[in-house]
Structure 1
Amino acid sequence: MKRMKRKSKATTRKGTFDPLNPKNVKHTRIGVWDMYEEVQPELAHIPGGSRLEPYLEMAQGIPYVWRMLKDVGSIRACWFLLGTYLAIECAASLVPAVSLWYSAQLLDIVQFAVDKRMVDKRLLVEIAASRLGCLFLGRFLRYANRKCVRPLNLRVRQFYAVHSFGAMARLDVPTFNDDAVHRQLEQAVAPNSHSSIAFDTLQTVVYGLTTLLQLLSQFSVLVGVLRGQRDGPLLAVLSFSQVLFQWSASKRWFDPSGVWAATTKNADYIRMEGMKRTVSDNAHRQEIVTGGLQEYLFAQFRRCAQVVGDHAISFNEAARYYKIDTLSVASFFEDPLRELPQIVFTLRAAQYPSSIPISLASLNLITQTTSTFTGLLVSLYSNTGSLAEKIADVRRLYDIEKIPNRVVDGTEPFPEDQKSLASGISVEFRNVSFRYPGSEAHALENASFKIGKGQLCIIVGANGSGKSTILKLIARLYEPCEGQILVNDRDIKLLKLTDLRRAMSVLFQDYTHFPLSIKENIGIGDPEHITDEDKIRQAARLGGADEFIEKLPDGFDTYLDRPVRDYYSSLPEGTKTLFGRPVDFGGLRSAGKMASSNTKSLSGGQMQRIALSRSFMRSLVSDRDVGLLLFDEPSASLDPKAEHDLFERLRQLRGNKTMIFSSHRFGNLTRYADLILYINNSSIIEEGNHYELLKKDGEYAQIWKLQAQAFL
């Protein structure tokens, strides 16, 4: 198995990191950079405690690894594959020791040649055949390893792909939109990886164990072979001591453990980097040329470069030089220990000339073995840090399923009588205020109104006034900061989220299209009937999408954005389509291949009609299950005729259901509304029906007259 590359370290530690807190933070100045390393309280009073941090995290992650092993064992035939994989790796780790033992038999040949003045040909042939056998065995074990690893990897990866999908799918809107949650998901989920966190961890654990087994077995063989030879153990000890000191002295790379951060406050260096980006970014080139800024930028950059001097380097480069410039005690012994085996051999040869052939063979054998040991020790040390990272990855993998949703589920079923949905659902806001996460401004402030069962309510107002926010609060995508929302005179927070959302159909202004076929994009509005093509076509007709869908090459089976790309080699320039899809010559893909965009170009109005069809699929096809219809700017991308036709269909087909619209345009539907809410600057200014609001001659009437003038 090849040694795995280490990625940038991450931690599973909870809480926050304050780099300016001197109590548990170590500060180091590196050129123009300031580095701050956090020391865990448990290790703060232990000399070199930061080096123990990976081991502490490993200990904390053991329960997660045990759970991972049980989950892997639950996968079909994985225990057998895992046992076979472990047996193959153990056998492969012992092959070098066996090969070393046969190589050591050369010493017997040398000893026999010195004593008898002849070569034991039979023993030489046996050794040669055995060495060849070890090579063949090693090749066979590598082949067996590949045959075993592939199905094991695929099954583990698929299992955790399902696990990660479920953990992500369960998150509500405010939780999923949280940047911290996104970072947590990105660290735990690698959708394009050829492996999985769980399998990588298994490989890392097995690799560490087999590397240790390989070290111990080779060292045992070497000690056993040299035990009976004069100064053999001394040569071995000196050679391995040199390896240890060389390994210790060579650890000069920057590799801090745990949580750390680095920054620079050097104004000249910061300005230098800003000027580099300025002259290298195409976005600024036009203004640099037309404004004649070249000489100014050059003079300022040169001045900053002279001030910063040799410290004008990146943090990684500065840290590398800092580590290399550190003088370690081990480096003093590295060179002398390298020469000691040669000195011992020379002294032994001068004292006992007859032992020169055997001593020479022993020295050559030790030199070869210690060279192998160097690589194994460095690999084993790296694997320790890598194992800590992998265990932390496993912990993150399971932690994502425990991310709490911001919108707390209710406990009461809704509705009490399913048949009551036919007459609609009432909605009431009592002094409701709301701010989006991270915003100080109110999106809705002190809103109070009541929409009765079966009423048609239109919420009108300018863009950004808070219309969409009202619909999102009704759908419980977010929780209000203040006030209370009632549905059928019951507190919305007490109702089961699944029941509540099943009883409503929602189309938001910021609607989306799934990377699925048009058929599924519409049918997913009512998953229980997603395979019913007649109902899907009926919903498409009601949404006004059926005509243009039928004209597409693949009809309802068309993918708006095909999730799987086509790969191909360089093509003649005249090739515009392949497999019926447009060719993308914009850039090369992986392995020098090119790929098509696979995207169907539909207008905004056509895309909105597909979204409308999805909403019809739920609200009008499954009319027994839905009592509340929410439409957020449903005609924003439609032309006037399509908008008129849509409103007529909605008005005639909604039956007795409660329907709430939001729109910034007054007209077709407002005159039929039972209730109009006029909202401005996040507050409801006026309410009433169309004719009542016109009589008030307030803001609603003024804007309605202003829009009406365009058609007079």
Structure 2
Amino acid sequence: MSSTEKEMANNAALEDYSYTTLTLGVWRLLLPMESSSLPSFKLSLPTNLCLPWNEISEKLPLVALVWRFLTEIYFLDPILVILTCSLELGAGMDSVLMLYASTNLLKTVDDGLMKGHADVNAILRAMVIHIMCIAFTSTISWFKDQVTPVLETRVKLYFEEYMLNARLRLDIPTGADKNTKQKVSSSDLWRAFQYLTGTAQDIFEFSAQIMFILQQANSGLIFTVLSLVGPAIATSGYRIFLQPFVTYSDNTNYLRLRSLAQLANDESFREEIVSSDIGTWISAEYRKARENLGNVSDAHPQYTLGQRQNPIKRLLISVFSDLPTLYWAATSILYPNSFSVTSFAILQQHAKTLNYTVQSIYVKWSYAAKSCSHIQDLYDMGAVENKLADGDEAYPSSLSSDNGMAFELRNVSFAYPEGKSKDNAIKNISLKIPAGQLVVIVGANGSGKSTIIKLLNRLYDVDSGEILVDGEPIKNYRISDLRKVQAMLTQEHKLYPLTLAENIGLGHPAQVDNMDMIREAAESGGANGVIERQVDGIRTILNPVSTARSGHLDRHKHKKLKEIFDGLEKKAEVSGGERQRLVASRTFMRFFSGNIRFAVADEPSSALDPKGEHQLFQRLRESRQGKTMIFVTHRFGHLTKHADLIICMKDGEAVETGTHKELMAHGGEYFELYNVQAQAFADAVM
């Protein structure tokens, strides 16, 4: 497809009556229709301060959530919250105090000039008051800066815990749903609190400023009104930066530049770039793309859109912002006896203070309104219902066997809810797995082997058919009870960003501090050698959380600091096979709980050599007492000879079931797989 055809297709895809598209430099900017017009001059109050009634009514349900949000923060530490808000309010009053102090000092000096001699005592008193106001506001600001970070940490960690718990309780299908993905961060919620309290603080400060200015002169009311006109109009220009938008670049030259820059700067490509000697080509292609881009700007599209506003509007905003000055100039002509440079300076200061406060109120109010959506997202997370309905029967039941879990699949079909394929992952499967049996599931990639395992563990519910556990529908049992008696070891299992001891110990959380049991599990999983090679042994964190940052370090002047930084939070290098040994040790730790009745090993040794895999499977088989155990593996030659039941999968169907001898005699799908894969594995082990 040519670039012109791509452009036409892109434009066609963007045709929609709910939004419009602007091309600004290298960017596409998508805006809702109601806010997509270019900036123009409109003498109207800011829309966010004058919401239509229907829009206000839509936001009313959020009031209860906002109140809940603020209440939860308050009860975290009432004294700390009250202290922080009081200091914020005190810091916000600095403008009024400084207005008072400056006005008092200027008037005292002006009185001395008018009388022809200075009142030293009065000036000194005014100066002392001025200095005291500065000292007071500075002290309040200092205390605020000490207290606010403490509350910020408390608030962020509290809501992070709330969101963490909300995520942890989700089952697999619910967690995979894009509508349940986390849409808000703890930082967003702290900012929401700041915007809400900041708006209230600014409104209080604004009211105090108005009251103060109104008392300054007979014309204070007129002056105050004129001082508000400019900022009221100016804030309408902020709409550009507060409206919803989507932006992306489809400029081929710009995208080419970014791709080449990533290729050159990403260390993961470094070795291949050097060995293939393609550096010259990258440089030449970058230069070509840069020249082709020409004078097209990559400035932020909202900034570019803001610069397109009508120049008349800019002129009028400047004129209206200067109305207090024009008014005072006119007053000096009409009433020259009442004019003084000092009074002019005072009112100029008042006008600037009001201007700043009005704009601050608008911005914080706008962000506070938008932050309500973050608060709603927070509590929506906690209200999500799992797609897997919990049962009410305890497990094990009176029908359960001490030998392990028994399964029966009756005409089971299933397709992954988040999958792109229209075909079922498994189709109309019916089979029985008696308690205590060793089962091997074989088949090509994508045949449905792992899907059966996930259904037996009730990570998903079947679309049709039924699964029975010990003669009862699996849906009837409490999910938490099923989880306690299951152990899964798969190639998808990862190491946690915790110590090696915890990585293994969390197989049995109640004994996570039992070092003797953890070392025994490590030995069973073949991970002792991995642990012994680490400097910190079992306390090693392979992938530590990254917290280290550096700034302004000169590699010549600050060599020691640079060395310290380079040595912080280094990752321990272990191979894929070593990681699988550690994960396997976690499974053996889980066996030590004594609760496990169903164990699964689903391709857990893909990174192990044949000998290592043979040893792992041997230890797993030795631990099968009281468990139904299922293996899923491509290298199954030695396993199938010990299996009570082999299930051969193909295209989502169980095409063959039986023992090794039965299926080999049948000469079907299993016979072919065994001869191709199992014999090669057996030869490698010998």
Fold shared per TM-score above 0.5: yes
Where 2:405 maps in the other structure, the secondary structure is coil
* Paired residues for 1:627-646 under 5 Å: 627-646=597-616
State the alpha-carbon separation in 1 of the partners of residues 192 and 634 from structure 2: 55
Q: Deviations over 1:181-225 (max 9, x none)?
A: 33xx1x3224xxxxx444433332332222222222222222212
State the alpha-carbon separation in 2 of the partners of residues 344 and 326 from structure 1: 24
State the alpha-carbon separation in 2 of the partners of residues 175 and 88 from structure 1: 44
1:479 matched residue in structure 2: 461
Q: 1:519 is matched with which residue: 486, 501, 511?
A: 501
* Aligned-pair CA distance for 1:429: 1.7
Cα distance change, pair 254–119 in 1 and its aligned pair in 2 (3 A): same
* Aligned-pair CA distance for 1:388: 1.2
Moved more, 98-107 or 369-378: 98-107
2:74 matched residue in structure 1: 73
1:493 matched residue in structure 2: 475
* Aligned-pair CA distance for 1:524: 0.6
1:448 matched residue in structure 2: 430
Moved more, 473-482 or 692-701: 473-482
Q: Does 1:683 align with 2:653?
A: yes
Where 1:672 maps in the other structure, the secondary structure is coil
Task: Check conservation: 2:46, 2:232, Cα contact below 8 A.
Answer: no
Task: Check conservation: 2:240, 2:306, Cα contact below 8 A.
Answer: no
Q: 2:233 is matched with which residue: 248, 258, 279?
A: 248
Where 1:507 maps in the other structure, the secondary structure is strand
State the alpha-carbon separation in 1 of the partners of residues 254 and 554 from structure 2: 41
Task: Check conservation: 2:543, 2:571, Cα contact below 8 A.
Answer: yes
- 2:461 is matched by which residue type in structure 1? E
1:202 matched residue in structure 2: 193
Q: Deviations over 1:635-661 (max 9, x none)?
A: 322223323323332223312421111
* Paired residues for 1:285-684 under 5 Å: 302=292, 315-324=301-310, 327=313, 330-331=316-317, 333-334=319-320, 337=323, 340-348=326-334, 352=336, 354-356=337-339, 359-417=340-398, 420=400, 422-436=402-416, 437-440=418-421, 441-563=423-545, 594=566, 596-619=568-591, 621-623=592-594, 625-684=595-654
Task: Check conservation: 1:545, 1:613, Cα contact below 8 A.
Answer: yes
State the alpha-carbon separation in 2 of the partners of residues 60 and 645 from structure 1: 61
Cα distance change, pair 99–563 in 1 and its aligned pair in 2 (3 A): closer
Q: Deviations over 1:362-405 (max 9, x none)?
A: 11100112112211111111010121122222222222112232
2:7 matched residue in structure 1: none
Q: 1:223 is matched with which residue: 214, 228, 233?
A: 214
Moved more, 496-505 or 549-558: 549-558
Cα distance change, pair 259–479 in 1 and its aligned pair in 2 (3 A): farther
- How many residues were matched structurally? 644
State the alpha-carbon separation in 1 of the partners of residues 333 and 678 from structure 2: 110
- 1:244 is matched by which residue type in structure 2? V
1:8 matched residue in structure 2: none
Where 1:552 maps in the other structure, the secondary structure is coil
Cα distance change, pair 341–557 in 1 and its aligned pair in 2 (3 A): same
State the alpha-carbon separation in 2 of the partners of residues 541 and 197 from structure 1: 46
Identity level (%): 28
Task: Check conservation: 1:68, 1:198, Cα contact below 8 A.
Answer: no
- 1:427 is matched by which residue type in structure 2? F
* Aligned-pair CA distance for 1:253: 4.8
Cα distance change, pair 90–400 in 1 and its aligned pair in 2 (3 A): same
Cα distance change, pair 423–188 in 1 and its aligned pair in 2 (3 A): same
2:263 matched residue in structure 1: 282
Q: Deviations over 1:320-347 (max 9, x none)?
A: 2333557489548537736523531441
- 1:214 is matched by which residue type in structure 2? E
- 1:370 is matched by which residue type in structure 2? A
Cα distance change, pair 206–244 in 1 and its aligned pair in 2 (3 A): same
- 1:321 is matched by which residue type in structure 2? Q
* Aligned-pair CA distance for 1:487: 1.1
* Aligned-pair CA distance for 1:497: 0.7
2:664 matched residue in structure 1: 694
* Aligned-pair CA distance for 1:173: 2.1
Cα distance change, pair 489–577 in 1 and its aligned pair in 2 (3 A): farther
Cα distance change, pair 480–19 in 1 and its aligned pair in 2 (3 A): farther
1:129 matched residue in structure 2: 128
The RMSD of aligned alpha carbons is 3.9
Cα distance change, pair 563–314 in 1 and its aligned pair in 2 (3 A): closer
Where 2:93 maps in the other structure, the secondary structure is helix
Task: Check conservation: 1:522, 1:617, Cα contact below 8 A.
Answer: yes
- 1:81 is matched by which residue type in structure 2? L
Provide TM-score, normalisation by structure 1.
0.80
- 1:369 is matched by which residue type in structure 2? H
State the alpha-carbon separation in 1 of the partners of residues 298 and 68 from structure 2: 48
Where 2:216 maps in the other structure, the secondary structure is helix
Task: Check conservation: 1:432, 1:485, Cα contact below 8 A.
Answer: yes
Where 2:496 maps in the other structure, the secondary structure is coil
Task: Check conservation: 2:598, 2:629, Cα contact below 8 A.
Answer: yes
Where 1:450 maps in the other structure, the secondary structure is strand
Moved more, 151-160 or 603-612: 151-160
- 1:634 is matched by which residue type in structure 2? P
State the alpha-carbon separation in 1 of the partners of residues 589 and 280 from structure 2: 56
State the alpha-carbon separation in 2 of the partners of residues 371 and 439 from structure 1: 59
Moved more, 325-334 or 681-690: 325-334
Task: Check conservation: 1:506, 1:615, Cα contact below 8 A.
Answer: yes
Task: Check conservation: 1:647, 1:668, Cα contact below 8 A.
Answer: no
Moved more, 323-332 or 240-249: 323-332
* Aligned-pair CA distance for 1:257: 5.6
2:9 matched residue in structure 1: none
- 2:586 is matched by which residue type in structure 1? R
Q: Where in structure 2 are there 5+ consecutive unaligned residues?
A: 1-12, 36-43
Cα distance change, pair 705–538 in 1 and its aligned pair in 2 (3 A): same
Cα distance change, pair 550–94 in 1 and its aligned pair in 2 (3 A): closer
Cα distance change, pair 298–489 in 1 and its aligned pair in 2 (3 A): same
* Aligned-pair CA distance for 1:20: 5.8
Cα distance change, pair 158–48 in 1 and its aligned pair in 2 (3 A): closer
Moved more, 150-159 or 30-39: 30-39
Q: Does 1:214 align with 2:214?
A: no
* Aligned-pair CA distance for 1:55: 5.8
* Aligned-pair CA distance for 1:534: 2.2
* Aligned-pair CA distance for 1:663: 1.0
Task: Check conservation: 1:565, 1:598, Cα contact below 8 A.
Answer: no
Where 1:255 maps in the other structure, the secondary structure is helix
State the alpha-carbon separation in 2 of the partners of residues 576 and 514 from structure 1: 33
* Paired residues for 1:34-53 under 5 Å: 35-37=30-32, 52=51
* Aligned-pair CA distance for 1:66: 1.3
Cα distance change, pair 96–489 in 1 and its aligned pair in 2 (3 A): same
State the alpha-carbon separation in 2 of the partners of residues 438 and 366 from structure 1: 67
Cα distance change, pair 600–324 in 1 and its aligned pair in 2 (3 A): farther
State the alpha-carbon separation in 2 of the partners of residues 259 and 35 from structure 1: 9
State the alpha-carbon separation in 1 of the partners of residues 560 and 102 from structure 2: 62
- 2:501 is matched by which residue type in structure 1? K
* Aligned-pair CA distance for 1:562: 2.0
Task: Check conservation: 1:431, 1:446, Cα contact below 8 A.
Answer: yes
Where 2:601 maps in the other structure, the secondary structure is strand
Where 2:622 maps in the other structure, the secondary structure is helix
1:151 matched residue in structure 2: 150
* Aligned-pair CA distance for 1:39: 5.8
* Aligned-pair CA distance for 1:614: 1.0
State the alpha-carbon separation in 2 of the partners of residues 429 and 102 from structure 1: 84
